[in-house]
Chain A
Amino acid sequence: MNTDSDQEGCAGCQGTPKWRQDFPIEWEGDHYVSRREMVKFLTLGSLLLAAANWATALASRFLHRGSHVERYVGSTASLEQSGSMLFRYPTNEDPCIAVRTPEGKLVAYSQVCTHLSCAVVYDKAGNGLFCPCHRGFFNLDGQPIAGPPTRPLPRVQLEQRGDQIYAIGMEG
């Protein structure tokens, strides 16, 4: 709807097109405000990202709990028979494997491959732990030495009491 002022034009607007009078946007001011608002928006995003980072740090505390519980693993006799033994630690959802090394040392690791979470098995001939899914190979120190895994297997601390083996903690 036209008004009188539209038809007449404003004072001091001589030579200015009508569309410019109807839509008097100052681009300089527009850029100023949009950039200022974008800085605000990005700082808010920065706050959220920092909060998410702290949330992951806090989440690790909860994931760490229960890693120092004591749990019966099995007897040394059953381990000597096959050279390795499967057990669950620290919860029933965490498969682990205990191995007697050729040097006679008792070691145990999480059975979950650090590549894509397949179960590793003891390879007596290769003297290590083998992941059959993608041919990953870990030595008996838990370090990855072949295939796609790049992170070591989490180690389970064991304690031998007579002929009984107990898991007492989780490293890494």
Chain B
Amino acid sequence: MSLRRQGTTLFAALLAFVGSAVVLQLWLLTLSVEALLGGEYKTLVPAALGSTVLLAINAALLRYVFRFDREAEEK
């Protein structure tokens, strides 16, 4: 199996994971805005922290994608 074909399958899996994380972030943002308008400020910072953790995971996966891409280019 060529590295590019492996990459296609791998990127599809990563895409599903990153997409799920983005949906979770969207849900967190909806909750935050609702809490903000409702005057419940206690949940805002934990929600923002959760969103940042998801962003960090996504960024780490993107870094892996770049590294894989570089290796595929070299080969």
Query: How distant is the Cα of A54 from the Cα of B44 in the complex, in angstroms?
Result: 8
22 A–B contacts, CB within 8 A, in A order: A36-B65, A39-B11, A39-B14, A40-B65, A42-B19, A46-B18, A46-B22, A46-B55, A46-B59, A49-B26, A49-B29, A49-B51, A49-B55, A50-B52, A53-B47, A53-B51, A54-B51, A56-B33, A56-B35, A56-B47, A63-B39, A151-B40
- The verdict on A57 contacting B15 (CB below 8 Å), with A36-B65, A40-B62, A49-B25 known, is no
C-alpha spacing A57/B29, complex, angstroms? 10
Q: Mark A42-74, 1 if CB is under 8 A from B, else 0.
A: 110111011011101101100110000000000
- Give a binary string over A26-47; 1 marks a CB under 8 Å from any B CB, 0 the rest: 0011011001101110110111
State how many residues of chain A have any CB contact under 8 Å with chain B.
Answer: 29
- CB of B22 within 8 A of CB of A49, answer yes
Interface string of B37-75 (1 = CB under 8 A from A): 011110011011001101100110110010001001000
B: contact size bracket: 35 or more
> When A32-B7, A32-B8, A39-B61 are in contact, do A53 and B25 touch as well, CB less than 8 Å?
yes
